[in-house]
Chains A and B, each alone.
Chain A
Amino acid sequence: MSYLLAKSKDDDILKAGECGGAVTSIFKYLLDNGIVDGVLAIRPGDDIYDGVPTFVTDSEDLLATAGSYHCSPTMIGELVRKYLFDKKVAVAVKPCDMRAVDELIKRNKINSDNIYTVGLNCGGTVSPITARKMIDLFYGVDPDDVLSEEIDKGQFIIELKDGSEKGVKIHELEHEGFGRRENCQRCDVKIPRRANIACGNWGAEDGWTFIEINDERGEELIEGAKKANILDTKTPSENSIEARSKVEGIMIKMAQKNQNANFDGANEMEEWNRCIKCYACRDVCPICWCYENCELNKSYFKEAGSVPPEPIAFQGVRLSHMSFSCVDCGQCDDVCPSDIPVSLIFDKLQKKYYDRTGYIAGVSDEKPPLYSPEKSEL
């Protein structure tokens, strides 16, 4: 594990990318040298609240994917499993994406030889609807006038068409019920250390990207990009390394505070009783890969007219299948038509499982202990 600061040598990328454009440059290097078939990244659709996952095969198209998209939470892991299993891909991953990719690798649903993961440090994402509302309410700005957004130093900052910037403290936004998605407020994995490299601006000098190299593959990536004369690097000072770990520490502490506040307050039975058994949470879950042969579809659990479902025979079964591997990505919260805080309860169970076994989904090296053939009791 080593640290470095990096910046693109390409002027176009430098302009389009955020803090030095190192990520986009690394993708360009991988594509131009034929190391990967394509890059899975997000490009804006109609506006900044609309992120569209794109499979880029021509490095010319990479520029459109540069920049940050905090307002369009997308799940990368499931896309790779579903559509790109037999391709060599490079992906930009948030920590929860990386954890999902890791869990799917453990289940042999993603081939680890075929995937290059460029991690992005993440302080949290904002739901597009919430983002529009709070930009209107707190910033007094028409949401459509926003050119780009950024999260920095505890503030959610928007840049307007006339070039001016406006920031409001995330803490204040969340106090009023806006701000980051609830699962992000609880999330305590802020740096994706299972990815080949983890990039971000925490602790970096202006115009540079701070990169943590996590494994040999990450080392090869950086060395290659340097040799291809596309990436400029230097060693970070002690101060920046310290500043970065300080930011991470503060974020994790805040997340743990939110966990403690929310886990006990959940009234599960009241929440479950709103369930209409639409299966959306299962279908969207990146860990639930076998839903074509799902136990919930078996005749003994799928009786006609059993709506609302007996909660334990629906959510209980789902919990027993994958709660120990819940990566807290919050996709289930986003799709639930009854606004059940599904991820809150799944995440709570994964934390309980951690207390029993020490297993953290998508972070620990080994497979979940539930899959272990070992002759040992918990």
Chain B
Amino acid sequence: MSDDIKIVGLLCNWCCYGGADTAGTARMQYPPNVRIIRVMCSGRINPSLVFKAFEEGADGVFVGGCHIGDCHYDAGNYKWSRRAKIVQDIIEEFGIEKERFRFEWISASEGEKFQKTMKEFHNTLKEIGPRTNTKTASK
């Protein structure tokens, strides 16, 4: 990999994961730094998952879900949107820049939006630089 920025992407199965698929089948280029983890719904994601990613040395965490109102399970993304606000507040208390955490609503047809978001996120992280993490540093 050209640079060493690690992005963990937690994507909802029904929308954002499909969006990444669309980007892939249409051969849209986006930074290969993102490691995608498929979850069934953004409402399944809790702050601990994000924190665990940061603990293991991720430079940025991205969460993608369905557009508000489009949740496959009716209200999962509303729940995630409330949790996301708490994550934003908490990571600041641990010396993690708030730009390192991002969430976005991307539908299965929006391959272009997925590509654009990944490029943007990668650029932001490149500007801030890699994260110094006590645990990975000692390994």
Chain B interface mostly: helix
Which A residue's beta carbon lies closest to that of B48?
A: A317
Q: How many A residues face the partner with a CB closer than 8 A?
A: 33
The docked-state distance in angstroms from the alpha carbon of A272 to that of B92 is 13
Q: With a CB–CB cut-off of 8 A, which chain B residues contact A313?
A: 51-52, 55
Task: Name the interface residues of B91-105: CB closer than 8 Å to any CB of A.
Answer: 91, 93-96
How near does chain A come to B24, taking the closest CB pair, in angstroms? 29
Question: 0/1 per residue, A336-378, Cβ < 8 Å to B?
Answer: 0000000001001100110010000000000001101111111
Q: With a CB–CB cut-off of 8 A, which chain B residues contact A345?
A: 93
How near does chain B come to A277, taking the closest CB pair, in angstroms? 13
B128 within 8 A of A: no
Q: With a CB–CB cut-off of 8 A, which chain B residues contact A205?
A: none
Task: Name the interface residues of B16-52: CB closer than 8 Å to any CB of A.
Answer: 46-48, 51-52
How near does chain B come to A169, taking the closest CB pair, in angstroms? 34
Q: Is the CB of B78 within 8 A of A316?
A: no
On whether A272 and B94 interact (CB within 8 A), knowing A313-B51, A373-B75, the answer reads: yes
Total cross-chain contacts (CB, 8 A): 79
Of A272, A315, A377, which is within 8 A of B78 by CB? A377
Of A316, A323, A370, which is within 8 A of B51 by CB? A316
Of B75, B86, B87, B95, which is within 8 A of A375 by CB? B75
Of A316, A348, A372, A378, which is within 8 A of B94 by CB? A316
On whether A316 and B95 interact (CB within 8 A), knowing A370-B82, A372-B82, the answer reads: no
Q: Is the CB of B47 within 8 A of A320?
A: yes
The docked-state distance in angstroms from the alpha carbon of A316 to that of B47 is 9
How near does chain A come to B88, taking the closest CB pair, in angstroms? 10
Question: 0/1 per residue, B77-88, Cβ < 8 Å to A?
Answer: 011011101110
On whether A312 and B96 interact (CB within 8 A), knowing A317-B47, A375-B75, the answer reads: yes
Of B74, B90, B135, which is within 8 A of A319 by CB? B90
A139 within 8 A of B: no
Which A residue's beta carbon lies closest to that of B84?
A: A378
Contacts A/B (CB < 8 Å), 24 sampled: A268-B93, A295-B48, A310-B55, A310-B133, A312-B94, A313-B55, A316-B47, A316-B90, A319-B90, A320-B47, A320-B48, A320-B51, A320-B86, A323-B90, A324-B86, A348-B93, A349-B90, A352-B89, A353-B86, A356-B85, A369-B82, A370-B86, A374-B78, A377-B78
The docked-state distance in angstroms from the alpha carbon of A369 to that of B86 is 11
Q: Is the CB of B78 within 8 A of A310?
A: no
Q: With a CB–CB cut-off of 8 A, which chain A residues contact B83?
A: 320, 370
A138 within 8 A of B: no
The docked-state distance in angstroms from the alpha carbon of A378 to that of B79 is 10
Q: Is the CB of A376 within 8 A of B54?
A: no
Which A residue's beta carbon lies closest to that of B94?
A: A312
Chain A interface mostly: helix
How near does chain B come to A122, taking the closest CB pair, in angstroms? 28
A300 within 8 A of B: yes
A272-B94, A376-B78 are known contacts; what are 9 more A-B pairs with Cβ within 8 Å?
A269-B94, A269-B95, A313-B51, A316-B47, A317-B48, A323-B90, A370-B83, A377-B78, A378-B82
Q: With a CB–CB cut-off of 8 A, which chain B residues contact A291?
A: none
The docked-state distance in angstroms from the alpha carbon of A300 to that of B52 is 8
Interface pairs A-B: 6 shortest CB-CB: A320-B47, A313-B55, A312-B94, A316-B51, A310-B55, A269-B95
Specify which of B74, B78, B81 lies most central, judged by the most chain A CB atoms within 10 Å of its CB.
B78
Question: 0/1 per residue, A257-273, Cβ < 8 Å to B?
Answer: 00000000000110010
The docked-state distance in angstroms from the alpha carbon of A260 to that of B103 is 31
B134 within 8 A of A: yes
The docked-state distance in angstroms from the alpha carbon of A372 to that of B78 is 10
The docked-state distance in angstroms from the alpha carbon of A301 to that of B79 is 24
Which B residue's beta carbon lies closest to that of A306?
A: B135
The docked-state distance in angstroms from the alpha carbon of A353 to that of B82 is 11
Q: Is the CB of A377 within 8 A of B81?
A: yes
Q: With a CB–CB cut-off of 8 A, which chain B residues contact A53?
A: none
The docked-state distance in angstroms from the alpha carbon of A348 to that of B89 is 10
A224 within 8 A of B: no
How near does chain B come to A31, taking the closest CB pair, in angstroms? 43
Of B51, B52, B85, which is within 8 A of A378 by CB? B85
Q: With a CB–CB cut-off of 8 A, which chain B residues contact A377?
A: 68, 78, 81-82
Q: Is the CB of B94 within 8 A of A268?
A: yes
Q: With a CB–CB cut-off of 8 A, which chain B residues contact A295?
A: 48
Q: With a CB–CB cut-off of 8 A, which chain A residues contact B89?
A: 349, 352-353, 356
How near does chain A come to B81, taking the closest CB pair, in angstroms? 5
Q: With a CB–CB cut-off of 8 A, which chain B residues contact A320?
A: 46-48, 51, 83, 86-87, 90
